[in-house]
Structure 1
Amino acid sequence: MILRSQTIRLTIFISTLVIAAIIIFQLIWLKKVYNFEQKEFDHSIAKAVRNFYDDINSDIDPATLLSDLIWRKNSQTYFVRITEPVNNDSLAYYMHAELEDENIFTDCFMGVYSSRLRRYVFQAFLPSATSKNAYKVELPLSNETYPHITLFFPHRQQYILSLMNFWLITSALLLVVLILFGGSLYYFYQQKFLNETQKDFINNFTHEFKTPVSVINLAAETLENPEIGNRPERLLKYAGIVKYQGKYLQDQIERLLHYAYAESNHLKLNKAEVFLHPVIEKSLDNLGPLISDKKATIELHLDAVNDKVLSDRGYLLIVVTNLIENALKYAEHPKLIISTNNENKTFVLSIKDNGKGIEHKHLHKIFKKFYRVTNGEQSPGRGFGLGLPFVKRIIDAHGGKISVESIPEVGSNFIIKLPNGIGFRK
């Protein structure tokens, strides 16, 4: 199919890049905000500890670096050095007050560690304003050789994230907007694609039916000439043309009806044991006029020992006929090699041609409905873009597989694999 939406595709591509860039930038920004809030939390703890020392009238030298008095053991735990024994209850009171003064509103567990006894001699729960019930946790073990206070914040990460609510909510809203925008672009492109495929389908439909109808009308006008009766060879010729074009129209209509039925209903298979070599031969017989018209060369290598498959003969005839007809239509001087063999209890049919071939970028699309290959600046080949999707649907319904190998300007090879029935052809 010739897509006339290069600008739209370019716009969608650029929009996708912009959306991706915005999302990446937003994630980087959120990461920076999170790191900033972490540093602010640590800074607030340090200020609370400095004020705490003032509250308890500590005799620690004011010139002592704060980093020598407090350090973070991990993301949730801080150690605070103390130098003399004081009232443990007053320690908890002053620490709680200073944490609240620095706007640290998250649960904290405090413990006073005795380096002499090598255990915690006092523990207290310093609840936040929103804490509903008291609970206990095990304070981290300490191997330090000096007395210190342990401050443990079990919900530190959640608290920091709660401080980022504004940024998280706005980022989520932005993400929703971007997703809706991206979805709208995708929907718009899909609608554009469907409109183009429908236009192509109508154009192809008109082309496929207009030509034979015109030929039939022309032949009919010739047959109306009274003098035609005196020339039996011309009468026979034009009668043959009418018959051939009528058969062509009938075949096209049957294909559309088959496809329409399959689209509106589940593909119902009347399975029976079918020998596929006669099906291939029947297909070639049906396509005899086209083979003669194209002066095609057909090589048959029906080497499969077991060609019996549990299948619907009528549908498989459609499959084989469609693939052979495509191979004939898309080559100037068709040369087909049709071969069969068996692989691991599987019947393998290969239909190889010397046509224009299919570029690699099209191979994964040719089994999509309405899709037709475009060769450079040339118009796509004749047809409705329904044949190969229907073929694949039939093969899938039989539990088989269809694949294609193709080299541009060399040809294509369609390979069908179907599970064999039991037994061998006699």
Structure 2
Amino acid sequence: MHSKFAGGIYLNGMRSSTLRWIILLATLLIALITGVQLFWLNKVYSFEHKTFNTNVVKSIRGLYEDMDIADTPANHLQDLIEHPSPDYFLFRVEGTSIPYDSLVFYLKHELNDFDVLTDALIGLYDSKKGTYIAEQYIPAAAARYDPSHNVLPVYQRDHDYVLLYFPHRNKYVLAQMNFWFISTAILFFVLISLAIILFYFYRQKFLVEVQKDFVNNFTHEFKTPLAVMKISSEVLLQDKIVNQPERLFKYANIIQHQTQHLQSQVERLLHIASTDRRELPIEKVRVPVKEIIEQAVAKIQPLVDDKEALVEIQSAEEPGYELLADRVHLELAVVNLLENALKYSTKPHVIISTGQEDGHLFISVKDNGIGIEKKYQKNLFKKFYRVPTGDVHNVKGFGLGLNFVKRIIDAHHGSIKVNSLPGIGTEFKMLFPL
């Protein structure tokens, strides 16, 4: 019915805590693996860039050895090479009278030798004229570039130099990392698959635990009434019971009461099951709210008498509130709230009131029961939820009562508020649009 008001069965915290820790650790492990992989991808990316720069510098040094274009000792060649920006390399030459075609040929050969297999644009700068006097594009099989779309930047120097520009440098570096990208993609696919499997495993585990708890509570709910009925029927089968009319009436009344209880629970289960995947079949008519409340109280009168409860009805005197609603379902909602109020109070004092609030008509059921802690209130209307109270069977119920009440209110486009203090009591206020 409720949960300590929400009726039902909730996943036992003790049984699920280990699984939650496993899920948490697995999530942290996946995050750690992902972080490490991304870190190494970044490291490899930086390494490939450094390798590219090193190979270009080696190619230029090889060019110096192939051609006499710099009057500098071999151990000082490094000083003639500059790297002004990521895609540009600049190296000094002595004069612009060098055979340019030979320079391009040897440079292309050196770049291939050192695996710099991307296209490049070469410019020969004349420091006296302050401009490039020759440009040459070296294509590559993997990349094509239109040099007319680019103007080589001029770096002001007091000497002649050759400028190397690699327009597809970054794409080339990324291409060298194909293995890492493929392995990372496979790893991420495996990790995502593992995360999905863990999620569905946890979900299935949760559903299994809910079903198991539901069966346990279902068994407990029916066990006691059936035992009482069995004992009562055995008493009624005794020959001398005919001569004891008061005793006969007592045990017949017990059987009737327990039968009604079981029938009510079965009908509730069947109703929930039949409406689980669709909207409740609402047939709205104009009904007096006070009449609905009085009928609901009359239905639970045996429970009121048994608990020696005090039930007060406080409603507007004139003209009396009416609501466009489904009479049967609205009555069931009030009955559920009243049953909960009586269940969780030692000496029940229940106040039922009606009124208007923010353009809505409300029906309030207030009790002096054990109350509900704030942290549990957000879950009260979930199916099978029960507020932890130690022994899960200390109060009968399937965890469907408040869930059903919420479905009825939603079908009427209303809302429900909960105000509760542990040890003081609880108020459920149903609000319906006027």
TM-score (norm 2): 0.81
Task: Kindly provide the amino acid, as one letter, of the partner of residue 31 in structure 2.
Answer: A
Deviating more after overlay: 192-201 vs 216-225: 216-225
After superposition, the C-alpha distances for 1:349-387 in whole angstroms (9 at most, x for unaligned) are: 444444344445544444333232322466464211223
The aligned counterpart of 1:370 is 384
Match in the other structure for 2:229: 216
Q: In structure 2, how many angstroms separate the alpha carbons of the residues matched to 1:106 and 1:183?
A: 41
Aligned twin of 1:13: 24
Partner of 1:293: 306
Whole-angstrom CA distance in 2 between matches of 1:140 and 1:414: 77
Q: Aligned AA for 2:56? A: I
Match of 1:325 among 312, 317, 339: 339
> Could you tell me whether the CA contact under 8 Å between 2:284 and 2:324 is conserved in 1?
yes
Q: Which amino acid aligns with 2:206?
A: F
Report the RMSD for the aligned CA atoms in angstroms: 3.5
1:88–1:198 CA distance, 2 compared to 1 (3 A)? same
Residue 109 of structure 2 is matched in structure 1 by 97
Question: 1:80 corresponds to which letter in structure 2?
Answer: L
Q: Counterpart amino acid of 1:295?
A: E
Decide which moves more: 171-180 or 397-406: 397-406
| Bigger shift: residues 112-121 or 222-231 | 112-121
Could you tell me whether the CA contact under 8 Å between 1:279 and 1:313 is conserved in 2?
A: yes
Per-residue CA deviations over 1:204-255 (Å, capped at 9, x if unaligned) read 2222222222223333333344544444443443333233222211211110
2:4 aligns with none
Match of 2:409 among 392, 395, 410: 395
Q: State the Cα distance separating 1:162 from its structure 2 match.
A: 2.4
The answer to whether 1:139 aligns with 2:150 is yes
Report the secondary structure of 1:71's partner residue. strand
1:399-421 Cα distance to aligned partner (Å, 9 max, x none): 33445454444444444444x13
Query: Cα 1:93–1:36, aligned 2, differ >3 Å: closer, same or farther?
Result: same
Letter in 1 for 2:105: Y
Taking structure 1 as reference, are residues 179 and 356 closer, same or farther at Cα in structure 2, changes over 3 Å only?
farther
Q: Structure 1 residues 244, 377: closer, same or farther in 2, change over 3 A?
A: closer
The farther-off stretch of 172-181 and 135-144 is: 135-144
State TM-score, norm by structure 1: 0.82
Deviation at 1:106, TM superposition (A): 2.8
Greater Cα shift, 246-255 or 304-313: 304-313
Which of 169, 188, 204 matches 1:191? 204
For the residues of structure 1 that align with 2:371 and 2:125, how far apart are their CA atoms?
Answer: 81
3-state secondary structure, aligned to 1:263: coil
2:181 paired residue number? 168
Aligned AA for 2:216? N
State the partner residue of 2:41: 30
Contact 1:212/1:249 (<8 A) preserved: yes
Asked whether 1:42 is paired with 2:56, we answer no
Give the total of aligned pairs.
Answer: 417
Whole-angstrom distance in 1 between the partners of 2:290 and 2:126: 92
Provide the rounded CA distance (Å) in 1 between the counterparts of 2:311 and 2:148: 84
Q: 1:316 deviation in Å? A: 2.8
> Relative contact order (alpha carbons < 8 A, sep ≥ 6): 1 or 2 greater?
2
Aligned partners of 1:71 and 1:79 also within 8 Å:
yes
- Counterpart-to-counterpart distance in 2, 1:168 and 1:312: 62
Q: Which residue of 1 aligns with 2:220?
A: 207
The 1:377/1:215 distance shift into structure 2, 3 A limit, reads closer
Greater Cα offset, 253-262 or 237-246: 237-246
For 1:386, the equivalent position in structure 2 comes to 400
Q: Which residue of 1 aligns with 2:296?
A: 283
For 1:70, what is the secondary structure of its paired residue?
strand
Q: Supply the distance in 1 between the matched residues of 2:224 and 2:117 (Cα, whole angstroms).
A: 83
